[in-house]
Structure formats: C-alpha cells, structure tokens
Amino acid sequence: MSQKFDVIVIGAGPGGYVAAIRAAQLGLKTACVEKWIDEKGAPVLGGTCLNVGCIPSKALLESTHQFHKTQHADVHGIATGEVSMDVPKMVARKDKIVKNLTGGIGGLFKANGVTTLQGMGKLLADKKVEVTAADGTATVYEADNVILASGSVPVNIPPAPLTEGLILDNAGALDIDETPKRLGVIGAGVIGLEMGSVWARLGTEVTVLEAMDEFLGAADKDVAKEAAKIFKKQKLDIKLGARCTGTEIIDGKEVLVKYTDSEGDKEIVVDKLIVAVGRKPQTNGLLSEDCGVKLDERGFIFVDEQCKTAAPGVYAIGDSVRGPMLAHKASEEGIMVADIIAGHKAQMNYDVIPSIIYTHPELAWVGKTEQELKADGVAIKVGKFPFAASGRAMAADDTDGFVKIIADEATDRILGVHMVGGIASELIAQAAIAMEFCSSAEDLQLTVFAHPTVSEAVHEAALAVDGHAIHIANRKKR
Ligand SMILES: Cc1cc2nc3c(=O)[nH]c(=O)nc-3n(C[C@H](O)[C@H](O)[C@H](O)COP(=O)(O)OP(=O)(O)OC[C@H]3O[C@@H](n4cnc5c(N)ncnc54)[C@H](O)[C@@H]3O)c2cc1C
C-alpha cells in the first residue's frame, strides 16, 4: 500500500516550505516534494527565492552598496585610498549565504517532522501524487490534501536566446564573476533595476532597455519620477519605449543588441546581456489530465481567494497563482492554506502586500497609488515628507527620497503609502502594520516616534496629510 499523508506540498520554495512547516506545526502528517537537486543528488530547498532570487540578489546588492559607501567615505572624513572589489569573493559570500539558508530549511523540516520527497511531483486524480526521483523511480503517494507550490520560471524572448556566459537569465546574472565593462539589461522591472544597480556601482556602463513608454508603470508616479531622476544620477541609462528586436554574438565574447525606439532602429554592443522581462508560472508536468485542477487564460493555476483550486482538497499558492510574484505573498498564502486544512479560520489581506525594489535608495509601497485612487473617484488627502529634512538621514548621508501617505479625505483612513529612501524596505512595514489595523493618518500622527530616527519621516508624512508636518513648510489653506 502506498504511503499516505495528511498534506503533500509540491515545491519547496517560500510558498511550499512555509506551508509544509505550518501544516506540520498544526499536527498534520506532511511531506514536501522538491525536484531541484544539487551536484550530489540531494534536494535543494528554498526555491527561486533562496537559491536564485531574493536572497542572492540582496547579498550582491549589499556588497556593492558597501563598496559604494566605502568609496564615498571621505564625506565622513574617512580616508580609504583606492577601493577595489574582489568579485569572485563577493559571489562566494553570496553562495555561502544561500547554502546556509537552504541547509537551514532541511533542518527546520527535520525539527518539525516534515518528510522531504526528492523528485518531480505530479498531481493525479483523487489527490494522489506521483513522485519521480532523479533516478527515474516513480512512487505514488496518497494525501487528504495537496498544496501546489510549483513557483515560476523566467520568461525568455526569441530575440535574445540565452547563451552561456553572454546572454543570461536571472540565475546566470547572479553568477557573473568579473565586472563587465558594458552590461545590457532587457526589462526595467524589479530584477532588471536591482541587477543593473549591482554592476553600475562597480563601474559597469549599464544600459537598460524597457519596451514600455512609462517607467515603473505600477508604482505611484511620484515614486517613479523620483527614482528615474536618481537612477540617472547613478548613470543607469534607462531607455524607455526600446524594444529588443535581435541579438548577435560577436567573436564569442560580445553581444550586439538590436532595438527599436520612437526614433527607429538602433544597436548597442555589451559584454553581457541580462534578460529580465518577467516570469511565468511553472506547471509543466505538474498536472495529470484527470486531476481536476484548471489553469486560467494566462497559464496560472486557477484558485479562489482562499487558494482553493477546482479540485476539492487541492490548493495552489505563490507564483503559480494570480497576484504579485513575491516571496512574502507566497509564504502568507502557504500559512493561510495550512490553517484552512487544519480546520482553522484563515484569510489573507491581498490589499496590504508591500512591494519593494532594493536599489539605493530603495523604492517601497503598500496599498493604492494616488493615480489609482483618483481613477476610482476616491477623494483623498496626501502628505509627503522628504528625507532631506530628516536629521537622522542627514547624519547617515542618505537624504534622497520621501515618504508619501495617502488618506481618505472623508474618513482619514490610510489607503496607500509610497516611499523612496535608504531603508524604505524596513519603513514600509510600519505602513503595512498601520494599514492592516485600518489606521487613520491621525493614528500615526498621535503615535510617538523616537528621535532621531529615519522613521520620523513616516510620522511627519502622516502629519503632512493635514498640513501639520513640523519640519517642512506645508500649511494647508483653510
Ligand atoms: C532575481 C530575483 C529576485 C527576487 N527578489 C525578490 C525579493 O526581493 N522579494 C520578493 O518578495 N520576491 C523576490 N523575487 C520573487 C520570489 O523569488 C518569488 O516570488 C518566490 O520565490 C515565489 O515562491 P514560490 O514558493 O511560489 O515559488 P519558487 O520559489 O519558484 O519555488 C517553487 C519550487 O517548486 C519546485 N517545483 C516546481 N515544480 C515542481 C514539481 N512538479 N515537482 C517538484 N518540485 C517542483 C521548484 O524546483 C522550486 O524549488 C525575486 C525573484 C528573482 C528571480
């Protein structure tokens, strides 16, 4: 008889591994299937996020930010002499962090009693799961509940086919081991901007080609405008309305990139080209024809707001379902689903999911943009506070950007918070907490913020909603 579990999770990314740990914590007999293996044939846990996504990119961003700060340390009176970067050492540090974290998940699985099943998981009818191991052996397991957490893969584009060492996707981009003189990036989204920043800080000439005419179309326009100004100062050459039409490899060591913009056909030559045009759900080989799960018109697994698929007892979470492709969204869905399976009441607030771009300064937002709210006909009031007026930001020599808070004109409820700033990724959590608790701007105005902190900019922006910020001139007409 085949082994039976209360819950089988397919995929050990931040959606799947978190769901598996929560399910096991709630007393459910849980297995997690992962197809990714290392050179020794052992399962690689952590998915895109830990292995080739959030964590390695942030390790490289931090290293290059430290490099940049050291280069500019003279502002504090620190003389450093010439600063240099040992790129292989930087990449090795990144690899070590990845190894520590992914290994840590194996430890958490053991500690919580989650069974790891190595292999390609396929959902069959009646919540059976076939797992085909790397050696080709297939075993069928039974489960009362299945959670599909198969994640996503990069989108490739025909004009720029991946070419070893020259045309790279996001995984290849994280392993560049010497500073390229010229780097091309296709796509001015999160990944493109983060990877472009890493290399621009090390002196690479970076050109970003973005097919859309608008920069950061999903962000609040104030954030997009400020970011464009700052990236220009940082010498990230972002070309909008520039569609890549083809590539040629020159002498096996350079890439000729052809693109077209409003002025016609153009070309650039780069040493490496990163393709960062987005990601698509990964469902190849995941679903048998009779499993009952349906895909939507864009290839995502179709789910309701509780992540239930069309097949009873089968759930899907993370990048393979609708909604933002973000690790924290995947993890929270995993927790919600495990709670539902264990019989608890659970729901997720899709209106309050923070988005962050970890350039420097960082861009972060939660809730609706001013443009969305105006388009919806909502009467709003806006408060904005620049970091240039923050004593702590001045002390840190990190004064670019602002905090913008948008509140409902009638109820004062906070509807959106948008930031550009050195540690916006940390500050945005304050906004998310406030919005989760349905705070008004006044609630933040009445909260005592420690001085001197960068967080005071959140307080001041809340005060500015009513024209009461202290450290800028913002009096509203009565
Ligand atoms: C360069 C980069 C930087 C990023 N930075 C951030 C960031 O800073 N913050 C953020 O929130 N998000 C970031 N993301 C996005 C984030 O990585 C994803 O949103 C997140 O990993 C999605 O989690 P998931 O569990 O749904 O899928 P994944 O992490 O993709 O994991 C899916 C797992 O399922 C396995 N799998 C798939 N199919 C099967 C199968 N049939 N059988 C067995 N196993 C299977 C895969 O091997 C994989 O391990 C970044 C992504 C990239 C590429």
Q: Residue 1's pLDDT is what?
A: 53
Which CATH number do you get for residue 64?
3.50.50.60
Pairing type for strands 30-34 and 115-118 reads parallel
pLDDT interval class at 475 (50, 70, 90):
confident
Compute, in angstroms, the gap from residue 50 CA to the centroid of ligand 1. Answer: 8
**Hey, CA dihedral for 181, 187, 188, 189, is it positive or negative?**
negative
Quote the pLDDT of residue 474: 86
Q: Note if 76 is an active site residue.
A: no
**Does residue 34's CB lie within 6 angstroms of at least one atom of ligand 1?**
yes
CA dist 215 and 238 (Å) reads 9
Q: Are residues 90 and 172 in the same domain?
A: no
Task: Kindly state whether residue 474 falls inside one of the protein's structural domains.
Answer: no
The answer to the question of residue 229 being in a domain is: yes
Pocket flag, ligand 1, residue 118 (CB < 6 Å): no
Q: Take atom 21 of ligand 1 and give the residue whose Cα is closest.
A: 49
Contact residues for 398 (Cβ-Cβ < 8 A; gap 6+): 361, 387, 421, 422, 423, 454
Distance in angstroms (rounded) separating the CA atoms of residues 337 and 7: 11
Q: Ligand 1: does its nearest atom lie under 6 Å from the Cβ of 121?
A: yes
Q: Do residues 131 and 218 share a domain?
A: no
In a domain, 336, yes or no: yes
Note whether 189 and 148 are same-domain residues: no
The answer to the question of residue 346 being in a domain is no
- What average pLDDT is seen over the chain? 97
Under 8 Å between Cβ of 364 and 427: yes
How confident is the model over 307-314, as a mean pLDDT? Answer: 98
Q: How far is ligand 1, taken at its centre, from the CA of residue 147, in Å?
A: 15
Q: What is the mean pLDDT of residues 227-231?
A: 97
Query: In this structure, are 293 and 441 located in the same domain?
Result: no
The domain total for the chain is: 3
The answer to whether residues 281 and 299 touch, using CB atoms and an 8 Å cutoff, is yes
The predicted pLDDT at position 87 comes to 98
Distance 170 CA to ligand 1 centre (A): 12
Domain span holding position 265: 167-277
Per-residue model confidence as pLDDT tens digits over 46-70? 999 999 999 999 999 999 999 999 9
The one catalytic residue in 418, 451, 459, 471 is 451
Q: What is the DSSP letter of 310?
A: S
Task: Centre a 10 Å sphere on the Cβ of residue 68 and count the other Cβ atoms it contains.
Answer: 18
State the pLDDT at residue 2.
Answer: 75
> Does 175 share its domain with 131?
no
In a domain, 350, yes or no: no
| Residue 218 maps to a domain | yes
What spacing in Å lies between the alpha carbon of 17 and ligand 1's midpoint?
11
State the CATH number of the domain containing residue 409: 3.30.390.30
Considering 293, 309, 341, which residue would you say is the last residue of a domain? 341
> Do 12 and 145 reside in the same domain of the chain?
yes
Shared domain for 225 and 191, answered yes or no, is: yes
Query: In terms of domains, do 288 and 271 share one?
Result: no
3-state secondary structure of 288: coil
Query: pTM value?
Result: 0.97
Taking the centre of ligand 1 as the mean of its atom positions, its distance from the CA of residue 116, in whole angstroms, is: 18
- CA neighbor of 290 nearest in space, from 306, 317, 307, 314: 314
Same domain, 267 and 138: no
- In Å, the largest CA–CA distance within the chain is 77
Q: What is the pLDDT confidence band of residue 150, given thresholds at 50, 70 and 90?
A: very high
Summarised one tens digit per residue, pLDDT across range 373-428 is 999 999 999 999 999 999 999 999 999 999 999 999 999 999 999 999 999 999 99
- The verdict on the CB of residue 46 being under 6 Å from ligand 1 is no
Round to whole Å and give the CA distance between 59 and 209. 25
Peptide bond into 452 cis (omega under 30): yes
Residue 477 confidence (pLDDT) above 80: no
Residue 217 sits at φ, ψ, to 5 deg, of -55, -30
Question: Does the Cβ of 149 fall within 6 Å of ligand 1?
Answer: yes
Which is the closest atom of ligand 1 to the Cα of 286? 41
Q: Give the model confidence (pLDDT) of 426-444 as tens digits.
A: 999 999 999 999 999 999 9
E-only strand ranges, 345-473? 355-357, 362-367, 380-386, 402-408, 414-421
Give the tens place of pLDDT for each residue, 82-132: 999 999 999 999 999 999 999 999 999 999 999 999 999 999 999 999 999
Residue 235 in this model has a pLDDT that exceeds 60: yes
Same domain, 260 and 297: no
Q: Which of 277, 292, 314 is the last residue of a domain?
A: 277
Instruction: List the one residue out of 188, 175, 251 whose CA is nearest residue 214.
Output: 188
List, for residues 189-219, the tens digit of each pLDDT value: 999 999 999 999 999 999 999 999 999 999 9
In this prediction, residue 144 carries a pLDDT of: 98
Residue 289 and residue 273 share a domain: no
Residue nearest to atom 49 of ligand 1 (CA): 47
Is residue 160 included in any domain, yes or no? no
Same domain, 8 and 144: yes
Q: Is residue 427 in a domain?
A: yes
Q: Which of 341, 365, 394 is the last residue of a domain?
A: 341
Per the rule left: phi > 0, alpha: psi between -120 and 50, beta: everything else, 394 is: alpha
